[in-house]
Structure 1
Amino acid sequence: MQLLDWIILSATLLFIVAYGALKTKGSKNVNEYILGSNETPWWTVGLSVMATQASAITFLSTPGQAYHDGMGFVQFYFGLPLAMVVICITFIPIYHKLKVYTAYEYLEQRFDVKTRTFAALIFLLQRGLGTGFTIYAPAIILSSLLGWNLNVMNVLIGLMIIIYTMSGGTKAVNITHKQQMFVIFTGMIITFFIILDYLPEELNFNNAMHIAGANEKLNILDFSIDPEKRYTIWSGIAGGFFLALAYFGTDQSQVQRYLSGKSVRESQMGLIMNGLLKVPMQFFILLIGVMVFVFFQFHAAPLHFNPNNTKLVENSQYKDTYHNLENQIKNVTEEKKEISLLYVDQLSKDYDNKELHNKMIALNSREKDLRDKAKELIHQVDEKAETNDKDYVFLYFILNFLPKGLIGLLLAVIISAAMSSSASGLNALASTTTIDIYKRHVKGEKTDKHFVDSTRLFTLIWGIIAILFACMGSLFDNLIQMVNIIGSIFYGTVLGIFLVAFYIKYIKAEAIFWSALITQCVVVVIYKIDMLSYLWLNVIGAALTIVIALLIQPFMKKETPQTEEA
């Protein structure tokens, strides 16, 4: 990186941290600190909701996902717009009418304190893990860039996020989200056009898509009914719908974003904005990954994208074997470039040459075989090394091919995204711990200032826990999938509790509590035996919670009616 890149990166991040801390310091009561005094306009709600979900993992892992597997991952989001409509109609009016600070407060009014506590604890567990991963993703970048220890980077990034989240609470998170989303959209749009400009002159966008399509990178829709297939139109609409419904409707990191809205209507408009923009945004990010794939049909790519693994092999007895594989992949790259240019020339004459088409596929298959052999060598050097390098593909492109200044901007994009989602996570973890655990069980009268100070303290504690989880990040596969897997394991059960609370008045506290406990154990077992795609866990978790509660309710003794929502 050049001096200009460092200036842009440092200035962007320091401005966001300082602006968030100074603009919102001094919250004196719980409503101001947790809900931002309910002053957030709809467009800020919408941007904040998008920024919370669009972590660094989105911008780091998603292009690498598309580079390797194509556009099919976009199916994951197909159920999201419908989920936004359901939440706007049912969830938001009830939350606002009851004036709750967290989603789980409602569960005590509908059921009892142990159901509220159980749902809150599930949230704290999975969101604590998820927040750790959102810190880990940008730490990978700076660790690779600076050669610094990965855990040191986890600590530094975590501390930056803790500073302004502790200072201003929800208002600081919402305000900084606007700056972060501006940086994110600007950087990604510029990058897309830079990639187009870097392609050979004779290659226009349409021909680039032909090359991507020939290599099966544009297979967006998969109508397979195989339950083991991870991303299909059915798992996206059904599993994606339930995951989005649970995430946006019951996960406090999202609920807190729209609870801060000025009114029910402002919160609803913010979520509808997210529903309209989220799928196109993810499509565009995946398209950037596909364009990176096309770019590397004409430029040399490394045998393995993770520089840490490359160093391992370079310092081992397999060094010469690895260099031989590198020489082979260079030859394949030269052949790919030659064949791809011939194929483009034929396309310009409106002729799809099948022979050249098949040669391209064969060369990319040969390249994949060489990369697999490199992974085998890495495993021989270190059995514990993570050889999946999807998370490093886009990073490699940024650091090695973007012009001066833009590298700093793109790194600021990814780190800003990490800060936005991590700050939302810490804010929600602290709020839930204070309101649903500490305040609900603490003895004696306490002042508003006491609970504000407690929330700040829990922000610090959860920040430290998230940093510790981040230090475990290297134990997992592709990060964006890992975050969604963690969510899918837990979200279905919590969603089932809320669906019963909203729609099935017949079911009472004891039945829903034991049903949720049984369901969560079943879902963990199903995931462990790996019998179907993780997206279906959301459907199974919600459905099982409802069905089991219906079955056992008749056997429960009559309970004193809880306070109902109007």
Structure 2
Amino acid sequence: MAGHPVDYIIIVGYLIFIAAFGIISGGKQKSVDDYFLGSKSVPWWAVCFSIVAAETSTLTFISIPGLAYSANLNFLQVTIGYLLGRIVVAFIFLPAYQKGELKTAYSYLENRFGAKTRSFASIIFLFTRTAADGVRLFATAIPLKLMLNISYPLAIIIIAIVTLVYTYTGGVKGVIWVDVVQMFIYLGGAIIAAIFLLNIIPGGWNGIYSIAETEHKFSIINLGMDKGISDFFSQPYTLIGGLIGGAFLSMASHGTDQLIVQRLLTTKTLKDSQKAIIGSGVIVIIQFTIFLIVGVMLYAYYGKINAKPDEIFPKFIIEVLPPGVTGIIIAGLFAAAMSTLAGSMSSLSSSTMIDLFIPLKNKISSNLNAQRSIVNKNELKISRMITILWAALLVLAALFFMNTSQAVVELALSIASFTYGGLLGTFLLGILLKKTKQKEALAGFTIGIVTMIIVISLKIIAWTWYTLVGVSATIIAGFLIGVFLEKKN
């Protein structure tokens, strides 16, 4: 694809603006707390928008319209589950986090079980987040590679460097405020595409409705009872599967994943963090509705053509939209990706620094309290160096997945699903079962991960059930091992 000069100007201008805005909005940081927690001074509504932007990647921007194009609106059942899961996080997880002046999601695990559990959870997070976001970084490089006619490695490096600039200088506060802007950019891009489709399809909305309704594209509820019990669990978008799967996935991603929890810890009060997490669930339902409706419109425009569902929206952006508009929407595509990537860099470096490096240093050094301001300054420098390290590792992960034949959205979801069940199960062991100790928690966590490796490898059930299975395996194993050890003693 040869891009129009206007599109190049818009995209380059956007990338420069975002980098500058992130640097300015982040302000100056004097300590690790400033850098990773924004001095707990970020308003709840900004955190709310930032959460939505962080969980919305290029995969969402491209794949969700493709989902409605090839099927219908059944995915909305999952988004209702997302909201239910966030309500649980707001009233069960966040109060537990607020009790201990926590700086990462995994600090809670140390307070509840011990340092080994915290370190294990943090290391698992580091590996899975790097792999999953490496896939997302590669997906983001695809349109840049097509527009500029450059290699994938160069496209990946350009996006990573722009994102690193404002993450490195602005810290989490800069990341959050950039996310606020980027959410409106990518949502605006989707709405602009919808308006164009509305105007170029004969008959406007009535024409779209008549074509889509014939193929049942507006179907939202799927009870999934028309087939046997084995088929029921192999369908990802049934009502029960969507609600339960969406709720447990959201509890894991928003209650135990440092990418999101880091943002919630930047608010002033528990009430603010609760408003942010629940508000994000409402916005996500609206956002996915917009993406899905765009997919229905694309079906009305193209009909059934020989193309992968994930290719339909990019095909429309590149081939149909006029110059300038194409640039805006591709900028929106980058916005969706960079918000996730920036959050990934910040959360990876914060977990490395706060969960692993500082505890290890405190253990080794006996003179940390002396000249605390110098220590703070050194820790801030180290934090920034760690951010650069993780940016480089994300680039390497993207290069590793460059030649994958699997659909990138499936790959990213599968990677996260390997550990989400075990991670959420371990947190629930700590919150719900007061007698559980570190040995049982670590054993349950490990069994949960092994269970998910088997379940995903054998493709026994649909992805919406993955987290529930992992959580169940972790809690049951942890509980039974605890009972066994108690009897033994």
Decide which of 286, 289, 294 is 1:283's aligned counterpart. Answer: 289
Residues in 2 aligned to 1:22 and 1:85: alpha-carbon distance in whole angstroms: 33
Residues in 2 aligned to 1:267 and 1:426: alpha-carbon distance in whole angstroms: 22
Residues 259-270 of structure 1: pairs in structure 2 closer than 5 A: 259-270=265-276
User: Partner letter of residue 248 of structure 2?
Assistant: F
Identity of aligned residues (%): 32
Q: Are residues 1:452 and 2:371 paired?
A: no
User: Partner letter of residue 95 of structure 1?
Assistant: Y
Match of 2:22 in 1: 20
Alignment deviations for residues 526-557 of structure 1 (CA, whole Å, 9 cap, x no partner)? 11111111221100111111111111113336
Residues in 2 aligned to 1:411 and 1:23: alpha-carbon distance in whole angstroms: 24
Q: Are residues 1:5 and 2:7 paired?
A: yes
Match of 2:372 in 1: none
Match of 2:177 in 1: 175
Match of 2:233 in 1: 227
Q: Are residues 1:518 and 2:447 paired?
A: yes
Match of 1:504 in 2: 433
Residues in 1 aligned to 2:341 and 2:405: alpha-carbon distance in whole angstroms: 19
Match of 1:49 in 2: 51
Q: Are residues 1:462 and 2:390 paired?
A: yes
Give the deviation of 1:39 after TM superposition. Answer: 0.6
CA contact 2:133–2:412 (8 Å) conserved in 1 = no
CA RMSD of aligned residues (A): 1.8
Residues in 2 aligned to 1:473 and 1:485: alpha-carbon distance in whole angstroms: 17
Give the deviation of 1:404 after TM superposition. Answer: 2.2
SS at match of 1:101: coil
SS at match of 1:470: helix
Give the deviation of 1:477 after TM superposition. Answer: 3.0
Give the deviation of 1:64 after TM superposition. Answer: 2.0
Query: Which structure 1 residue ranges, 5 or more long, are not aligned?
Result: 298-363, 372-387, 560-566
Residues in 2 aligned to 1:97 and 1:552: alpha-carbon distance in whole angstroms: 28
CA contact 1:76–1:237 (8 Å) conserved in 2 = yes
Give the deviation of 1:474 after TM superposition. Answer: 4.1
Residues in 2 aligned to 1:231 and 1:500: alpha-carbon distance in whole angstroms: 28
Residues 103-502 of structure 1: pairs in structure 2 closer than 5 A: 103-200=105-202, 203-224=203-224, 226-297=232-303, 364=304, 371=306, 389-442=308-361, 443-444=364-365, 445-446=367-368, 447-471=375-399, 472-502=401-431
Match of 2:371 in 1: none
Match of 2:482 in 1: 553
User: Partner letter of residue 437 of structure 2?
Assistant: K
Residues in 2 aligned to 1:133 and 1:244: alpha-carbon distance in whole angstroms: 20
Residues in 1 aligned to 2:104 and 2:386: alpha-carbon distance in whole angstroms: 15
Structure 1 or 2, whichever has the larger Rg, is: 1
User: Partner letter of residue 127 of structure 2?
Assistant: L
Give the deviation of 1:242 after TM superposition. Answer: 0.6
TM-score (normalised: structure 1): 0.80
Give the deviation of 1:497 after TM superposition. Answer: 0.6
Residues in 2 aligned to 1:71 and 1:476: alpha-carbon distance in whole angstroms: 27
Residue correspondences, number: 470
Residues in 2 aligned to 1:31 and 1:230: alpha-carbon distance in whole angstroms: 41
SS at match of 1:71: coil
SS at match of 1:227: helix
Decide which of 460, 466, 481 is 1:537's aligned counterpart. Answer: 466
CA contact 1:476–1:482 (8 Å) conserved in 2 = no
Residues in 2 aligned to 1:83 and 1:473: alpha-carbon distance in whole angstroms: 33
CA contact 1:511–1:549 (8 Å) conserved in 2 = yes
Residues in 1 aligned to 2:328 and 2:114: alpha-carbon distance in whole angstroms: 49
User: Partner letter of residue 47 of structure 2?
Assistant: V
Give the deviation of 1:25 after TM superposition. Answer: 4.8
Residues in 1 aligned to 2:342 and 2:405: alpha-carbon distance in whole angstroms: 22
Give the deviation of 1:503 after TM superposition. Answer: 1.4
Give the deviation of 1:52 after TM superposition. Answer: 0.5
CA contact 2:187–2:287 (8 Å) conserved in 1 = no
1:536 and 1:272, CA in 2 relative to 1: closer, same or farther beyond 3 A? same
CA contact 1:177–1:420 (8 Å) conserved in 2 = yes
Give the deviation of 1:139 after TM superposition. Answer: 0.5
User: Partner letter of residue 331 of structure 2?
Assistant: A
Give the deviation of 1:72 after TM superposition. Answer: 2.5
Alignment deviations for residues 91-121 of structure 1 (CA, whole Å, 9 cap, x no partner)? 2222223111101011011101111111111
Residues in 2 aligned to 1:3 and 1:55: alpha-carbon distance in whole angstroms: 26
Give the deviation of 1:473 after TM superposition. Answer: 4.1
